[in-house]
Amino acid sequence: MSDHLPEALRNLSLPVIAAPMFIASGSTLVAAQCKAGIVGAFPALNARPAELLDDWLTDIQAELAAWTDAHPSATVGPIAVNQIVHQSNDRLAHDVAVCVRHRVPIIISSLRAPPREMLDAIHGYGGIVLHDVISIRHAEKALEAGVDGLILVCAGAGGHAGTLSPFALVGEARRLFSGPLVLSGAIATGDAVLAAQAMGADLAYIGTRWLATQEANVAPAYRDALIASVAGDVVYTNLFTGVHGNYLRASVINAGLDPDNLPVADKSKMNFGSGGDSKAKAWRDIWGAGQGVGLIDDAPGVAEIVQRLKTEYDAARARLKL
């Protein structure tokens, strides 16, 4: 790992952060990701009601401690919790306070740069904040606010995603910032993880691949659709939440909508998870997926996928004689 990375991002089994996915990322999935030696993440809003967040963190931390005791030589990844920094999230103060109490090592902030009091609280116990960005303008604002690292959400990423090529955004971001850079966008294989590092990122941000696992909290039909789909089956629209994102065409059709003629939503009416201007609910009825979906052929457990990624990553390094 690079010398400039904070402790929480070093000593992983693979330079990978599992992206926090609405509904799909629960305590079972996160614990499995951490046990496999990568960063396991979930959105705070997945724990409902709000009081459940404390239970989830308590349970995950206890499970990881027991795993470490039973496997003292194993690499165990840290927990990350995603916080939506937006006026529609009336849980933000509560959820941040719970994370501070549990000393969650990594917080992933989204939509808007985190306020100073939030950053101070997290930095106060040694935690770090990584912020999702889709442009250099967003990156500059986040760095001015004081975040510790950037997650570059590029074209092809699942869920809320940008449109810039990773080659462009990583290159410009690295000119701007020498700290931790994490790349998101259609990364589903170990050689793609190495490619992310080759272009200047420190870690890869993988989301869609975890949807097709035994531990993900998704319906069987969702898993089946992921396995059956290819990149061309991904639709980019802001209809469902007010923010542009990538979704599986089949789920849009199942909701009675024409994926080729979707209206544009009012961005001022952002409502995450409620379906925006549509009666279909994002993430539950409209299934998020990145363009790497065409590389998914099965739905094994997390440990098996991490081992595959490691094998592919090492093989790519060997091909390049690294």
- In the predicted model, is pLDDT for residue 277 greater than 60? no
- CA nearest to 181, candidates 191, 171, 190: 171
Question: 169: which DSSP letter?
Answer: H
Share of the chain above pLDDT 90, in %: 88
DSSP β-ladder status, 159-160 and 149-153:
unpaired
Q: In DSSP terms, which residues pair with 105 in a beta bridge?
A: none
> In a 3-state reduction of DSSP, which class is residue 27?
helix
Per-residue pLDDT band for 276 (boundaries 50, 70, 90) equals very low
Instruction: Give residue 96's pLDDT.
Output: 98
pTM value is 0.94
- In the predicted model, is pLDDT for residue 45 greater than 90? yes
Per-residue pLDDT band for 1 (boundaries 50, 70, 90) equals very low
Cα distance between residue 272 and residue 240, in whole Å: 8
> Which parts of the chain fold into alpha helices (H)?
27-35, 52-70, 92-101, 116-124, 136-145, 166-176, 190-198, 208-211, 220-228, 249-254, 302-319
Cα distance between residue 115 and residue 95, in whole Å: 14
Domains of the chain listed by start with CATH number: 11-214 (3.20.20.70)
Phi and psi at 317, nearest 5°, equal -60, -40
Average pLDDT over residues 174-198: 97
Q: 92-101 and 116-124 helices cross at what angle (nearest 10)? A: 10
Q: Which amino acid is at 105?
A: P
